[in-house]
Structure 1
């Protein structure tokens, strides 16, 4: 066990993030990109467990903006979650400061815009949450760390794309154009002027924090002639497994250790799409370079081969093999494995099925035949001021059955505070989906094919399931997770595939505690924004209290 890095407990961090519409050339053509502080991707937020982080966001776009912290659990504080159900947007030409604590977390995460399809234009960046010096890390400190944000990318203007997706007269093509690594095109791409490269020294060990920041595609990641030691995913230390390649699904993050144990040369880093023919879609194979410091030669092909992209069984078997490390600590002094789910009592089960349908003449994605209707008034604000009345109806839509007809709805469901919930995601679409729950890490207990039924609980791994915040669901299959709802708030449950999310594949889980003690849930921030039916109605706070 190692104790690193050294840090003062609970310091304040202040960051200034200026969002601008920039016209840059990530590949061959100029296109609008959302840059942060002039950077694409945005700057690293490098913090430590239990830090208080202040992020002052200046919105210099021409439309409202919110952005969210993918996997940061916002303990007791969904006011800072940065999604439409919890926050009013930051209007053009204004700024707003997020304040949150990276409480009881370590690991690799990222941030991105959460509304208006803006993630398709960038606006994302990495987050590291380092351990406090009193908490042991289950591997030696690497010689260096690299953030590697990989994602599919489209050349189309994101504003045009979002308008086309609901146009019933257009067959929208959701296949992106290229795969970028840290905003750079693949090595050898004739349209690209730059590619991503990492310099290493022979004999040293490096930590790669890999995130899939794309909108659509899962990918398989590998490094030519190098093996990887998997050590962490989204804040959980995993059993340390040596891998030749790793599947990373949309919205997921991993840490792997790579030893520079080859001769001084350059080697290919590859991210190839799942469920697509890499020969036919060669631009969607992301390629970077691992450059040894003494190397004078370019990498020599061919690219390292990965698993058959259509081999779902490979991906499922690998997913099942990623287990929680039960012998190490995490962000707290007690080992993360001191608690398991072998004998928990489940108080709720949600069975959530996605599909595509046409509602009022436009294509949408539905959950149990309900497509989420985004409204102008944040649900959390309505909860605070009018107990939700007139804004949404709690538990109006089913979570274990399917509505007879597809419809729009503001779907908000009750989550039992301090109860265990079983979430079963069924994917009726032809691509790999990803589901994410804000505010929590969940235990990934099972994968299966076809329809889910209660008897399949016998196949669950309840001994050492990994804890994470985003999980993949394979085409025609199901994925089951357990979550302990100990974090009061209004929490977004969504598809991480941007088209699905934009077209309605989401809902909110309201985890409520009647006790107004701020130790259980923090009160609204002093800089709370108002919008919708409460536009510029700050005085309402003086006349209402938490229900």
Structure 2
């Protein structure tokens, strides 16, 4: 044995300590879940019998409770009578679009069959949700919450709350989702028919005479609680508030935010937030309210979601009028609030270094997409479009076509008009190239008279700007490039535009879609192919061994 000098021994101890720290930082857990997805006819969320999609008998489905870098295995048994896919809204699937669970990346799980998703919550924290992505299934349920917790070595930028609550809020059709789906080829349903009610964690409004049960959260006076709120709905943006309680916004879709105190919070379709609520009132019960934006819904309408904040020693039910929210048609209120949601540059998140280390103040843009949503009849059938193009789903998923056959036989690459509308409305299977490791600017324009919201799988949006009227390059001078929040879904107000940046460092075939279910189902989507020719699996994972084939 060779004796080490004193200095060498200390150097060895130091290296061993660093190695131990690296192993501790990199450690991840394996999470194994088994889900049975079926249709339940007994739940009756509102006033009529209708089929509800459940997971392991639950609606909403079970919580996926993970930590940064965990590997999640979800064995999905399709016990329904039609094909199924599950997607993980906001989980970025680093280098692994094979597990994204949308029609462009995966063959569906056929009725009576099962398939195991394996994905990693790589370099993420935050509040997300999952839902079924095919066949208008989301209108029948099948959604549930996802938490990605900080690793122990990363400090959370607020004191540990007493408890955490998941609250999935969404509008709901009081109809069989199959019936709604079949009617979407008619102008009335495609253009006009609004949802019938608002659910909170799958339950109807408190004091609604037709509701079997309402949601309630029990708190202790003096304690602070984290509510993880997600809008899992179909069409309506919502305003969320709690009677006599303020909330502190601390996180949205994987980004810690500057902590601002609000009386009410707008949450748009597909978005998630974490807020802190302190039980600082007298022991009683209080209303929790979610009301639709751009709607004249009255307080006792089924479209106004109502739950209860229950103090554990309360003997008093909620009383008085519902807490008043902002004018639902006041877009300036909503827009100003959106601009106030900013990135906390000093907080760490998935990594030890602060979020602000990754800023956009000096980036060089490599591409710009200007995308305009609209609706039009194509061949006598109502379709939602993007730049006057409506997406058609092929029999073979784009990702399989890209990997195993000549992709051009399945889709049209780079024929989509990314900066102007097609002169004639068309439908087809179009894919746009995203420059690998380039910065993409997307300007979303909304010519509809309703809210819209947009999501790009695989990436986060740096939400740099909002505006109204015509967008021009000169308006980049109005962007917030210092601390724009990074989130997975950005809202676009009627008659206005929203600008986002995305760093395309994640190779794969990625779905860019309207989060409004009807818009998406009727063609308002595009796939972005981020390609790296290097076959090294460190760049992009190879197809999984259990890959399903179709088409």
TM-score, normalised to structure 1, is 0.95
Aligned-residue offset at 1:47: 0.5
Distance in 2, matches of 1:227 and 1:451, equals 37
Aligned counterpart, 1:191: 210
Aligned counterpart, 1:71: 90
Question: Which of 19, 25, 28 is 2:37 aligned to?
Answer: 19
Distance in 2, matches of 1:125 and 1:170, equals 27
Question: Which of 153, 160, 179 is 2:198 aligned to?
Answer: 179
> Do structure 1's residue 226 and structure 2's residue 245 form an aligned pair?
yes
Runs (4 or more) in structure 1 with deviation over 6 Å come to none
Distance in 2, matches of 1:281 and 1:465, equals 38
Which residues in structure 2 correspond to 1:89-104 (within 5 Å)? Answer: 89-104=108-123
Distance in 2, matches of 1:7 and 1:104, equals 11
* Partners of 1:209 and 1:256 within 8 A in 2: yes
Aligned counterpart, 1:9: 27
Question: Which of 294, 297, 302 is 2:313 aligned to?
Answer: 294
Cα deviations across residues 320-339 of structure 1 (Å, max 9, x unaligned)?
Answer: 00000001101011111112
Distance in 2, matches of 1:344 and 1:325, equals 19
55-64 vs 387-396, greater mean Cα deviation: 387-396
> Do structure 1's residue 452 and structure 2's residue 482 form an aligned pair?
no
Q: Which has the larger radius of gyration?
A: 2
> Do structure 1's residue 473 and structure 2's residue 492 form an aligned pair?
yes
* Partners of 1:357 and 1:364 within 8 A in 2: yes
Query: How has the CA–CA distance of structure 1 residues 7 and 516 changed in structure 2, closer, same or farther, with 3 Å as cutoff?
Result: closer
* Partners of 1:164 and 1:172 within 8 A in 2: no
Aligned-residue offset at 1:172: 5.5
Question: Which of 514, 519, 524 is 2:533 aligned to?
Answer: 514
Q: CA RMSD in A?
A: 1.3
Aligned-residue offset at 1:22: 1.0
- 1:283 partner SS: coil
Structure 1: unaligned runs, 5 residues or longer: 1-5, 533-547
Aligned counterpart, 2:257: 238
Distance in 2, matches of 1:29 and 1:87, equals 34
- 1:318 partner SS: helix
Distance in 2, matches of 1:42 and 1:471, equals 25
Aligned-residue offset at 1:169: 7.8
Which residues in structure 2 correspond to 1:99-178 (within 5 Å)? Answer: 99-168=118-187, 173-178=192-197
23-32 vs 283-292, greater mean Cα deviation: 23-32
Distance in 2, matches of 1:461 and 1:50, equals 30
> Do structure 1's residue 442 and structure 2's residue 461 form an aligned pair?
yes
* Partners of 1:168 and 1:361 within 8 A in 2: no
Query: How has the CA–CA distance of structure 1 residues 72 and 302 changed in structure 2, closer, same or farther, with 3 Å as cutoff?
Result: same
Aligned counterpart, 1:336: 355
Which residues in structure 2 correspond to 1:272-351 (within 5 Å)? Answer: 272-279=291-298, 282-351=301-370
Aligned counterpart, 1:216: 235
Distance in 1, matches of 2:526 and 2:533, equals 22
Aligned-residue offset at 1:387: 3.9
Distance in 2, matches of 1:275 and 1:194, equals 27
Aligned counterpart, 1:205: 224
* Partners of 2:31 and 2:70 within 8 A in 1: yes
Cα deviations across residues 119-169 of structure 1 (Å, max 9, x unaligned)?
Answer: 000000000000110111101110000000000011111111111111358
Aligned-residue offset at 1:409: 1.4
Distance in 2, matches of 1:383 and 1:475, equals 36
> Do structure 1's residue 493 and structure 2's residue 494 form an aligned pair?
no
Cα deviations across residues 166-216 of structure 1 (Å, max 9, x unaligned)?
Answer: 135867643111100000111110111211000000011100000000000
Cα deviations across residues 389-448 of structure 1 (Å, max 9, x unaligned)?
Answer: 311121011100111110101120000000000000000101110000000011000000
Aligned-residue offset at 1:41: 0.6
* Partners of 1:7 and 1:48 within 8 A in 2: no
Aligned counterpart, 1:354: 373
Aligned-residue offset at 1:27: 1.8
Distance in 1, matches of 2:155 and 2:189, equals 55
Query: How has the CA–CA distance of structure 1 residues 35 and 170 changed in structure 2, closer, same or farther, with 3 Å as cutoff?
Result: closer
Aligned counterpart, 1:408: 427
Which residues in structure 2 correspond to 1:380-395 (within 5 Å)? Answer: 380-395=399-414
Distance in 1, matches of 2:199 and 2:292, equals 12
Distance in 1, matches of 2:54 and 2:25, equals 30
Question: Which of 70, 74, 83 is 1:55 aligned to?
Answer: 74
Aligned counterpart, 2:13: none
The number of residue pairs the alignment matches comes to 527
* Partners of 2:25 and 2:153 within 8 A in 1: no
